[in-house]
Amino acid sequence: MQSTDLGNKESGKIWHRKPSPATRDGIIVNIIHNTSDYLPKVLRFLNVAFDSSGDCLLAGDHQGNIYVFDLHGNRFNLVQRTAQACTALAFNLHRKSEFLVALADYSIKCFDTVTKELVSWMRGHESSVFSISVHASGRYAITSSSDTAQLWDLDTFQRKRKLNILQSVGIQKVFFLPLSNTILSCFKDNSVFAWECDTLFCKYQLPAPPESSSLLYKVFAVTRDGRILAAGGKSNHVHLWCLEAKQLFRIIQMPTKVRAVRHLEFLPDSFDAGSNQVLGVLSQDGIMRFVNIQTCKLLFEIGSLDDGITSSIISPHGRYIAAIMENGSLNIYSVHTLTKEINKPPPPLVKVIEDLPKRKVSSGDLKMKVTSGRVQRPAKSRENKMQTRILKQDLTGNFENKENELSDGLNKKRLQILLKGYGEYPTKYRMFIWRSLLQLPENHTAFSNLLDKGIHVAFLNLEKTYPIKSRKLLRVLQRTLSALAHWSTIFSDTPYLPLLAFPFVKLFQNNQLICFEVVATLIINWCQHWFEYFPNPPINVLSMIENVLAFHDKELLQHFIEHDITSQLYAWPLLETVFSEVLTREEWLKLFDNIFSNHPSFLLMTVVAYNICSRAPLLNCDLKDDFEYFFHHRNNLDISAVIKEVYRLMDTTPTDIHPDSMLDAFVALTKGQYPVFNQYPKFIVDYQTQERERIRKDELDYLRERQTVEDMQAEVDQQRVEDEAWYEKQEQLRKAEETRREMLLQEEEKMIQQRERLAAVKRELKVKEMHLQEAARRRLLQLQQEQREMELRRLDDEIERKIHMRDREIAATAKDLEMRHLELESQKRLYEKNLTRNQEAVAKEMREDADACRRKADLEEHMFHRLIGMDQTQNQKTQKREEAEEKDLHLKSEKKASTLSEASRKWFLEKEINDALHAQHACNKVVPRCYTERVASSCLPRNSELNGISAVESSTQSSLNQRKAYWDSMEPDLMARVRNLRQRLATQARNRCQTPHLLAT
């Protein structure tokens, strides 16, 4: 076992010598990734994915490093550093260089392995994405997490649909069924639904598992044809569901050491038409066991208890198994090595004992040793070991049957007997039998070298000559024909090669190596002498067919001759298409079961038998077009009868005209390298090659000259076109200028008309504005007039109210005067009583003043004596002086107060007298002269009261002046009334002022 450490390398070889995996473990190479840092550690691989071809592997570790391993080219490359662990990978998109990776931040990114650039970044999941399923076309992908599944369009990288479920249910897996448009969703409650991809219409739901089974599904796998679903979980049982019948048809019980199933994977086979029969079951012990789901037998197993497997994936063509081990490394297994002993057919049960040649033989030659042994099968459990008796014979009696023993242990004679009994090989084992009959060497390296040369120039435009609807089929046909052309030069010029190879390409389109080797073996053996008359049809081979036909059916041959139908019409179309145009798929397979099982002459005899069995319709044909149509289209013919006729012809044809005398026996392709094919007139091919090369050079020269002429013509045309375009543009500009001038004149005319209309509108608006202003002015004047009238009415009301108040005040004043007169009479008598009392009080006050002056003099004298006695200190003198001054001031204030009290008493008496006189004058009463004189003599100082009356008059005059100023501001029509009121008030005031003077006189 080889081991490769990636280290810090970004690219390099996967292995340095050709791998030779042992049959026991089948490991091609073990890949580890150790860092060479200060503290070296192992970077564990987490996920792997194969591309659609199965030769390239994508692997990502827990630090986000993603590598591409080219198992065919023996190279690895670091294509991306995502800096975070990847949780899922997908590498089978329709753009072969792109891949999807789900990261630990719940995002999905698309990268390109060639440019190493980010193509797209898809977000939408809220939990870790654990699986990515890609549609068979590579244009859609489903990403699944525990809570949701999302459908993405990989052309636009937009999300198309989203599946939301209850958190209590949970998603186990959502994926596309292979080669179909159906989505299968599996949930944690064991429910499985099938949906239509485009409409998301629920097609069906699988019924619940049997009640006796407590298995909860956790892992799932589907066969290539999408018919069988395998489900497993925490149990040693695996359930197999038929999706067509929608029912559980088998339960496989694994060995007792298996307690839980961690992964399921079907092993593809190139010859089972997608109905995979081998299921890989990875259990909790790290061992992946491969069992046959039909026989329920354990075939082989990988992994061990010491070196267990955590996850694995199988390549689409079933050639490799990539397994991530528990130690973080990556193992690549060879399925061919693991199944070499399993696919080896068991020894025959019947042995034919033949007579020995009549010669003396030693005792050792007659010994037949019977031994018991065990069929060696890798990594099988003890209970599955089988004891078998192996019969070993000496080679002495096998010289005659040596050519009948095939490489895979099959016996050609036995196969022929089986074929004659059943007419065809079983469909299930047909490809295996063909591969054994043809002894295909499966030279992978040699075939890869042919493919690496690329598409041959002769088949670059194959789709134009042979249009095929399927792009995949066209691509496989193109590669196969190119490989044949690179193998031998003649095949690049063989016009019928696509017709010859197409049925095999269609049959082996998923395995191009087998397809190439089958076609090459067919050409070497069954197409012998076909190229001797190249490029014409093989006249010699057609002559063999015509001779056989002449011997067995002269009438039919004579009919052909009479209607000028040669072997190039009734034989060559069947040969160059190998009967694919005239037979159905099942008939063609049945025919080639017999062709591959017999001598190469069987094919030529088949052409003769086909004509003989169709003699009735052929004898009725008279036109050449009818014959051509007959040999290029399907006819109502029993292929079993044709094959039976072929065997009769093989047995009854004379030796001198039998094709087997002119054709060599079957020769298989050599191993390692393919044999040289030069069975053609080399000089013709070389001449044609030279002529073709000369024609190609002449054509290149012609094309070069024509290209030069075309370039010159193109330049002239371009110049002419430019000139014409320039002139046309100038003409267009001139027309555009004239048009714009006309438009400008029209616009100016329209502008003038619009201005006139605008002026008319402005005039109308001005007139309307004037009318509106006049109406507003009238309304304003009317409003002002109404306000003035209201103000005048308010003033009239105010004047009337004032006049009324004045009249009431005058009446009240008259009443007050009468009351005042009575009060004055009473006060008069009181004043007379008080006059005497006041005179006595005055005399008393004068005495008190004299006493005060005497006390003051005494005080001054006393103070003088004290001042004389207090001359010792200046401060005491100052203090005494201040006290004296204070006393003096006190006396002065007392004297002044007495003076003021006397003056106030005198003023009060005068005021009382004047009031009495004023009251008496107001009442228009005559006061006796004696009384007046007596009052005047006794109260003469009170005449000052007249000054108070004058002050009252002056205040009254001032009030009248203020009222006059107020009323003068009123309107003229009110002034007269105000003047009349003022005159009346003035007259009353004059009368009021004259009364005291009359009383005084």
pLDDT in the model for residue 605: 93
Q: Quick check: is 610 in a domain?
A: yes
pLDDT at 941: 40
The model's pLDDT over 559-607, given as tens digits with 9 standing for 90+, comes to: 999 988 899 899 999 999 999 999 999 999 999 999 989 999 999 999 9
Return the DSSP state at 458: G
Distance CA 994, CA 477 (A): 154
In a domain, 521, yes or no: no
End-to-end distance of the chain based on CA atoms, in angstroms? 166
Contacts of 657 (CB under 8 A, 6+ apart): 544, 547, 548, 551
Q: How confident is the model at residue 888, as a pLDDT?
A: 75
Distance from chain centroid for Cα 744: 55
Q: Kindly indicate the confidence band of residue 133, based on its pLDDT and cuts at 50, 70 and 90.
A: very high
Task: Compute the distance between CA of residue 111 and CA of residue 97 in angstroms, rounded to an integer.
Answer: 8
Which band of pLDDT confidence, cut at 50, 70 and 90, is reported for residue 231? very high
pTM of the model as a whole: 0.41
Domains in the chain: how many in total?
A: 1
Mean pLDDT of 957-981: 59
User: What confidence tier does 930 reach under pLDDT thresholds 50, 70, 90?
Assistant: very low
Give me the amino acid identity at 825: E
Question: What is the chain's alpha carbon radius of gyration, rounded to the nearest angstrom?
Answer: 69
Domain contains 569: yes
982, pLDDT greater than 80: no
What band does 489 get if pLDDT is binned at 50, 70 and 90?
confident
Q: Match 């009170």 to its residue by tokens.
A: 942
Which has more pLDDT, 836 or 253?
253
The per-residue pLDDT for 266 is 92
Does the residue 582 lie in any domain?
Answer: yes
Confidence check: pLDDT of 931 > 60: no
Lookup result for tokens 């306000």? 787
pLDDT at 357 over 60: no
In a domain, 316, yes or no: no
43-101 pLDDT, tens digit per residue, is: 889 999 998 888 899 999 888 899 999 988 889 999 999 888 889 999 888 888 899 99
State the CATH number of the domain containing residue 548.
Answer: 1.10.472.80
Indicate whether 558 belongs to any domain: yes
Collect all residues with Cβ–Cβ distance below 8 Å to 871 and sequence separation of at least 6. 877
pLDDT range class, residue 863, cuts 50, 70, 90: confident
Q: How many CB atoms within 10 Å of residue 850?
A: 10
Residue 852 has pLDDT above 60, yes or no: yes
Burial class for 877, CB neighbours closer than 10 Å (0-12, 13-18, 19+): middle
On whether residue 129 sits in a domain, the answer given is no
Residue 407: phi and psi, rounded to 5, are -65, -30
pLDDT of res. 955:
54
| 378, pLDDT greater than 50 | no
Could you list the residue range(s) of the whole structural domain that residue 618 is in? 537-663
Contacts of 464-468 with CB under 8 Å at 24 or more apart are 465/498, 466/498, 466/502
Q: Decide if 281 contacts 258 (C-beta within 8 A).
A: yes
| Residues 231, 218: Cα–Cα separation, whole Å | 7
Q: Using CA atoms, how far apart are residues 46 and 510, in angstroms rounded to an integer?
A: 29
Model confidence band, residue 959 (pLDDT cutoffs 50, 70, 90): low
CB atoms within 10 A of CB 307: 17
Q: Interhelix angle for 539-552 vs 554-562, to 10°?
A: 120
Quote the pLDDT of residue 347.
58
Query: CA–CA separation, 587 vs 606, rounded Å?
Result: 13
Cis (ω within 30 of 0) for the bond into 535?
A: yes
Report whether pLDDT(39) > 90. Answer: no
Task: Tell me, yes or no, whether 597 lies in a domain.
Answer: yes
7 contacts: CB under 8 Å, gap ≥ 6: 33, 34, 35, 36
Q: Pick the closest to residue 646 from 790, 548, 716, 538 (CA basis).
A: 548
- pLDDT band at residue 535 using 50, 70 and 90 as cut-offs: confident
pLDDT of the residue at 917: 61
Residue 814 has pLDDT above 60, yes or no: yes
Whether 933 has a pLDDT exceeding 50, the answer reads no
Alpha carbon distance 440, 432 (integer Å): 10
DSSP annotation of 660 reads: G
How much is the pLDDT for 50? 92
Q: What is the 3-state secondary structure (H, E, C) of 396-443?
A: HHHCCCHHHECCCCCEHHHHHHHHHHHCCCCHHHHHHHHHHHHCCCCC
Residues 6+ apart with CB under 8 A from 99: 49, 58, 66, 89, 90, 91, 93, 110, 111, 113
Tokens of 767: 């007139």
pLDDT band at 827 (very low <50, low <70, confident <90, very high): confident
Q: What is the pLDDT of residues 645-688, one digit of tens each?
A: 999 999 999 988 898 888 888 888 888 888 887 766 665 556 66
Structure tokens given for 437: 């009959």
